[in-house]
């Protein structure tokens, strides 16, 4: 499974406006719902916030991977957001998050969800990957960067 199979330009938001964790999650879910007929934004929000109560998905190096499983989606959905100002996401290192990968998968499906998170965690360790996403001018630049790393080119 390639991340780019689940992420298109319509699933990327550059210049996020959120100023706090909940706003960031809501902004990303809104983006997801815009490109997904069956996605129920309220159900997704409830599931993601419930997951966040178990422990923040804010990692290190300015990255957060909010995720959840719920039947508001028919297949794995991923959206990517970039916040130049950063958002306090209760990250492990205490620093603001600038890159967001929101994943939602159906409750009965675990393989692709886990694989996607593992791939993202591996990619975000690359300084150049993070830098390219933050500097992206177009959603297509984000997709291209992810694809290059998935193909071992970066």
Q: What pLDDT, in 10s, does the model give residues 122-133?
A: 999 999 999 999
- Residue 76 CA to residue 105 CA, distance in Å, equals 4
Residue 17 Ramachandran class (φ > 0 left, ψ -120 to 50 alpha, else beta): alpha
Domains defined for the chain, CATH in brackets:
3-149 (3.40.930.10)
Residue whose entry in the numeric block shows the structure tokens 């965690």: 121
Spatial CA neighbour of 25 closest among 112, 101, 113, 139: 101
- Per-residue pLDDT reduced to its tens digit, 30-60: 999 998 877 889 999 999 999 999 999 999 9
Q: What is the pTM of this model?
A: 0.95
Contact call for residues 143 and 7 (beta carbons, < 8 A): yes
């Amino acid at each position: 499974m390639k991340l780019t199979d689940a992420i298109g330009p319509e699933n990327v938001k550059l210049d996020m406006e959120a100023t706090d964790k909940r706003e960031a999650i809501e902004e990303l879910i809104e983006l997801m719902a815009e490109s997904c007929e069956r996605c129920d934004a309220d159900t997704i929000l409830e599931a993601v916030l419930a997951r966040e109560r178990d422990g923040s998905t804010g990692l290190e190096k300015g990255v957060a991977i909010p995720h959840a499983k719920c039947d508001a989606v028919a297949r794995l959905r991923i959206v990517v957001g970039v916040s130049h100002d950063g958002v306090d996401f209760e990250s492990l290192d205490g620093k603001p998050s600038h890159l967001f990968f929101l994943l939602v998968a159906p409750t009965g499906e675990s393989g692709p969800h886990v694989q996607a998170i593992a791939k993202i965690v591996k990619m975000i360790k690359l300084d150049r990957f993070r830098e390219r996403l933050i500097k992206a001018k177009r959603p297509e630049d984000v997709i291209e960067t992810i694809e290059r790393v998935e193909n071992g080119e970066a």
